[in-house]
A = this chain, B = another copy of it.
Amino acid sequence: MSYSPYSLSFDFFGLRRIMKFKTIEWKGDHVRLLDQRKLPQEIRYLECRDAPAVAKAIRNMAIRGAPAIGVAVAMGIALAARKIRSNRPEIFWKKMEKVCHLMGETRPTAVNLFWAIERMKRALNQLHSEDVEGLKSKLEREALRIYREDLKINHKIGENGKILIQDGDRVLTHCNAGGLATAGYGTALGVLRAAWAEGKRFHVYVDETRPLLQGARLTAWELVQEKIPATVITDNMAGWLMEKGKINLVLVGADRIARNGDTANKIGTYGLAVLANWHQIPFYVAAPTSTFDPNLSSGNDIPIEERAGEEVTHMGGRRVTPGGVKVFNPAFDVTPHSLIEAIITEKGILRKPFIKSLRKLKTK
């Protein structure tokens, strides 16, 4: 399945423009990223010319979303390899070790990052070559493979999941699990795109997703481009909408899923899952199988990133809170498997008990 960049007509300050975007692109001597921090107000691309620049873009969330981070990490490693001037294998291997470590330190929760590093390492190890140029090409091919695979996987998740969306549905989503969070198309938004393409008509409620507003800024932007009707709400409105019967399913992405199905995702997801359960609304997770962490038996062991307090205290560069007050800013939470109705993957829809359905998946 091939993937073309979004064609979009975008009305900004009354100015009608046609534009195309790609979340991330391999440009040979650099990696080009759509800077998501200023979207949708500014369409700005970052050109990362070395691995530290890619690592910085991941850390400061110019690029975010577990699958997109995986792709960025792979491209960052391929870029680092390319920039090594020495032809001596021992220097090459040492520098590769270093860049993998650098990438592994960027963000702790999304497991796709570590999965991508492992894939790049495996690609290297398979070769065991003394030919440094050969190794560089090998890494570049592997990064591009990860990118193309992610696109295919997203489309497959969409195809698998669209059966869960019905005409007239009112879907609540949180954060951004869209084309911007992946190589393209999206996981949760991929499901919505596939259902929409099939002619199903529904309405999407989008949690704005404080503190960084990935819902209000990114998900809303993607849905407007697709002409899928969408309503942005503040995060604290979700419960009331459920109580008023305005939501009939919740659909989110994931940053890391333990063997039992416990799912780490953007902060606020856990609260939504409790609220959905309370109101007997099904709660779905959409994610590639690379988001499963085979090393963790439960979500208790998923490391939760805490980010800078300024994300909460400041808005648009201006402080809103008074001096002297503390801030707590966990970027993720963990939703227990018991609150998840199903997990939509590229290999099919997993039902409870996830520990069994996941095991079955592996033997397929």
In the complex, chain B residues whose CB is within 8 Å of the CB of A236: 174, 207, 209-210, 235-236, 267-268, 271
A268 with B221: CB separation less than 8 A: no
Tell me if A's interface is mostly helix, strand, loop or mixed: mixed
Chain B positions within 8 Å of A229 at CB level: 326
Q: A92-100, A112-120, A154-162, A314-322: which one contacts chain B? A: A314-322
A195 CB to closest chain B CB (Å) equals 19
Q: Say how many copies of this protein the assembly contains.
A: 2
Please classify how large the interface on chain A is, using the bins under 10, 10 to 19, 20 to 34, 35 or more: 35 or more
- Among B11, B321, B333, contact of A324 (Cβ-Cβ < 8 Å): B11
Residue interface mask A136-177, B partner, CB < 8 A = 1:
000000000000000000000000000000000000001000
Tell me the chain A residues, 312-362 only, with Cβ under 8 Å from chain B.
312-313, 315-316, 318-330, 333
Whether A223 and B325, one on each chain, are in contact in the complex, defined by CB atoms closer than 8 angstroms, is yes
Q: Within the assembled complex, what's the spacing in Å between the Cα atoms of A363 and B162?
A: 60
On whether the beta carbons of B274 and A322 are closer than 8 Å, the reply is no
Interface check A240, CB cutoff 8 A: yes
Contacts of A303 in B (CB 8 A): none
B residues less than 8 Å from A12 (CB atoms) = 322-323
17 A-B contacts, Cβ less than 8 Å apart? A11-B324, A40-B322, A41-B319, A207-B236, A209-B236, A210-B235, A216-B312, A224-B322, A232-B326, A232-B328, A233-B327, A233-B329, A237-B268, A237-B330, A239-B274, A271-B271, A271-B275
Residues in A lying within 8 Å of B, measured CB to CB? 10-12, 40-41, 174, 205-211, 213, 216-217, 220-221, 223-224, 229-241, 243, 267-268, 270-272, 274-275, 278, 312-313, 315-316, 318-330, 333
